[in-house]
Structures are given as structure tokens and as C-alpha cells.
């Protein structure tokens, strides 16, 4: 299920800060800004999942919490107080989320992963969590993505100030033979890895007098803020190749040919990047046209973009579905992360099979 905060920021707010062809290149018209923190955002998405699926939270055997808006500890300890730095720890917030839901899963895991976070979480689930979990037929795993990138955005940065939006998603993952939670997508494989690159595309810094939007849509300046910086052109050149490579390696690993893939749902970084990814995928032998265009009213929602696109295309996706992703690496490091998820459409239900 999905949760989009109600407060939106249109492109018109940026005025001259926005590149003239921004909307044409990205497809982004507006993005949401959350007044709630990552835990509260996640709880909103889970609440919608419970309402839609009628799942019982007491059946939750494991909770995976993914947040791309948390500041990595090496940066947080440098620029924030000890208590504020502790608030940036993914596993701590994952436990806080479990407490707020009044559940006691056998495993609680928190992670970042930035825009590759969904693939990272599913890979961790498949290769580490599930083999030790002994998931029951009436149990499920809850995978939540929660992004509040607005709180670390430098709105005056022409490269990244308008790219991202706040969003949360909740995915229910059950056994293939579950009757209580029948499967919609069968999780066949998930991979995640980091690779060295020729440069660092991403970092954090502390800025003074940072322009931010107010709750009523005006502008004000925050005296001091930890913000991220992004080499937009650099990652836009690198990410499409990384996603195509991840897709090619996934089909090879599973002894499939590219023409045996029926649908491709890549990370929705923006219309232009997905278009370039489509070209790289075609060069790798994939014939199907990737899903594109899910950023108009959300912006790039980072690790939430794949579950968001899967939900939007819920009834039209069929057969084998490939979801390649790519993202920046650790702050200040010359690396990128990439991953891929391989799914197979099953029934018309609300769960994914682990």
C-alpha cells in the first residue's frame, strides 16, 4: 500500500531556481512534503495496508524498515548531537515503529540503501532473514519504505532541490502456500551490490541560511541544515547503465533470456533517466518497453518508487517482471549501488511471496 503526504510543493514554488526544461526532462510537476517523521509516515502506509488487506498485525513475523532519508552515522556523528545522531539509526527507528504498532516480530531490521533500498531489503530478506525465520503459513513479513528527503534537501540547489518527494509504502510478503495471505507477485530473486565508480556522486554538508518551504507554501530560511548534494548529470549518465547491467545479470543468473521477461519496472528516477535506461536495456537484448512516467505528482520517491509503480500497474503487470534499480553509493565514496528484483505474477491479491 501507499501513503503520500497531503502537502504538495509545485514546480512554480521554485521560480528561477528550476531549470527551464526540468519538467520536460524529469516528468516531475510537484512533490509531497511530510510534516511527520519517517516512523509516522511508515505507520500511515501500514494503516492503509491493514485497511485494504484486512491483515492481522499479530501475524507479522518480521519487519524490514527502509529509509533513504536517514543521515548515515558517519555524517550524523560529525554534524549532529549524540541524541540527534541516534535518531538517524535505521534499526532504532525500525524498533520504534514496531513499538508504535504494538507488535513483536521475531526479526526487526532497519536499513538505508538510498534509491536501491527496496532491492536491498528484498535481497536481505531472501538470503538472510527468511532462511532463519521459519515463516508460518499464516504469517507474513512487512517491508516498509519511508522517505522524508525534504528534511535534508537544499532547495536552492538546481541539481537536486526539486527532484525528490516524501512518500511511504508497505509491502506484505507471505509464503507461496499461504491461504490467509494469498500471493499476487511471486518473489523469484533479488540482488543488491555496490560497485566502484570513477567519481563520488553524492555527499552531505552543513549549510547556513538554507531556503525551505513553509507549511503555507511561502519561503523561509533555516539557520543551519545538514543537506545532501548530488551530481545529477553524473548519476544520470551512470544509473541507466547500472540498471541495464543488473537486469542482464539477473536473467542470466536465473537461466532466462531477455525475451522471456514480460514487464520491466525500473526505479522511477525521472522520465529522462528511465528513457535512457530503456535504450541500454534494448542494447542488452530486452524487447519490452519499461514502465515510465510515475513521477509527475510524486517526484523521485527513492526506495519507494518500485513498490509505488508496482501498485499503480497492479492489474496490468503479467508474467515475469524485472525491477532494476540503481543509486548513489556511500557519501563521498566513488561508488554506485545497483540491484534487481525478479517477480512472477500470480493471483489478484495483496501479497508478495517470499
Mean pLDDT within 23-52: 97
Mean pLDDT within 129-142: 97
Q: Sorting pLDDT into bands at 50, 70 and 90, what band is 20?
A: confident
Give pLDDT, residue 221: 96
Question: Whole-prediction pTM value?
Answer: 0.95
Cα distances from 274 to residues 58, 145, 154, 290, 344, in angstroms, run 39, 21, 24, 8, 22
| Closest alpha carbon to 293 in 312, 315, 316 | 312
Q: Sorting pLDDT into bands at 50, 70 and 90, what band is 346?
A: confident
Mean pLDDT within 166-185: 96
CB count, 10 Å around CB of 126? 18
| Closest alpha carbon to 338 in 201, 154, 184 | 201
Give the helix/strand (H/E) hosting 282: helix 271-283
At 163 the three-state DSSP class reads: coil
**E strand residue ranges, 119-159:** 140-147
For residue 324, what are the β-bridge partners?
340
Q: Give percent above pLDDT 90 in the chain.
A: 95
Model confidence pLDDT, tens digit, residues 262-304: 999 999 999 999 999 999 999 999 999 999 999 999 999 999 9
Give pLDDT, residue 165: 98
Mean pLDDT within 227-242: 94
Model confidence pLDDT, tens digit, residues 102-126: 999 999 999 998 999 999 999 999 9
Give the helix/strand (H/E) hosting 85: helix 82-86
**Whether pLDDT at 348 is above 80:** no
Sign of CA pseudo-dihedral 84, 90, 93, 95: negative
Give the helix/strand (H/E) hosting 194: strand 183-196
Cα distances from 111 to residues 3, 132, 169, in angstroms, run 20, 19, 15
| Separation of alpha carbons 111 and 125, rounded Å | 12
Amino acid at each position: 500500500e501507499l501513503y503520500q503526504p497531503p502537502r504538495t510543493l509545485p514546480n512554480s514554488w521554485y521560480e528561477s531556481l528550476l531549470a527551464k526544461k526540468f519538467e520536460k526532462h524529469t516528468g516531475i510537476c510537484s512533490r509531497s512534503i511530510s510534516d511527520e517523521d519517517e516512523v509516522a509516515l511508515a505507520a500511515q502506509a501500514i494503516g492503509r495496508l491493514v485497511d485494504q488487506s484486512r491483515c492481522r498485525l499479530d501475524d507479522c513475523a518480521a519487519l524490514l524498515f527502509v529509509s533513504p532519508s536517514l543521515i548515515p552515522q558517519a555524517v550524523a556523528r560529525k554534524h549532529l548531537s549524540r541524541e540527534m545522531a541516534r535518531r538517524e539509526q535505521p534499526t532504532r527507528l525500525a524498533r520504534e515503529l514496531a513499538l508504535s504498532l504494538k507488535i513483536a516480530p521475531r526479526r526487526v531490521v532497519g536499513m538505508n540503501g538510498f534509491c536501491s533500498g527496496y532491492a536491498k531489503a528484498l535481497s536481505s530478506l531472501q538470503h538472510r532473514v527468511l532462511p532463519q525465520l521459519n515463516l508460518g503459513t499464516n504469517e507474513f513479513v512487512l517491508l516498509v519504505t519511508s522517505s522524508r528527503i525534504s528534511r535534508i534537501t537544499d532547495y536552492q540547489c538546481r541539481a537536486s532541490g526539486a527532484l525528490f518527494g516524501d512518500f511511504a509504502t508497505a509491502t506484505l510478503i507471505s509464503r507461496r502456500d499461504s491461504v490467509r495471505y494469498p500471493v499476487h507477485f511471486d518473489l523469484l530473486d533479488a540482488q543488491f551490490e555496490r560497485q566502484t565508480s570513477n567519481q563520488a556522486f553524492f555527499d552531505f554538508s552543513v549549510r547556513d541560511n538554507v531556503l525551505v518551504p513553509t507549511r503555507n507554501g511561502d519561503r523561509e530560511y533555516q539557520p543551519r541544515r545538514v543537506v545532501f548534494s548530488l551530481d545529477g548529470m553524473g548519476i544520470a549518465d551512470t544509473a541507466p547503465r547500472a540498471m541495464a547491467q543488473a537486469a542482464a545479470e539477473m536473467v542470466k543468473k536465473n537461466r532466462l533470456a531477455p525475451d522471456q521477461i514480460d514487464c520491466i519496472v525500473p526505479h522511477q528516477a525521472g522520465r529522462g533517466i528511465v528513457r535512457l535506461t530503456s535504450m541500454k536495456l534494448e542494447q542488452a537484448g530486452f524487447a519490452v518497453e519499461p514502465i515510465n512516467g510515475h513521477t509527475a505528482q510524486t517526484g523521485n520517491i527513492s526506495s519507494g518508487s518500485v513498490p509505488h509503480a508496482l501498485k499503480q500497474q497492479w492489474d496490468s503487470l503479467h508474467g515475469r517482471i524485472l525491477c532494476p534499480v540503481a543509486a548513489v553509493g556511500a557519501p563521498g565514496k566513488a561508488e554506485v549501488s545497483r540491484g534487481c528484483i525478479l517477480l512472477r505474477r500470480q493471483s489478484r491479491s495483496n501479497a508478495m511471496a517470499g
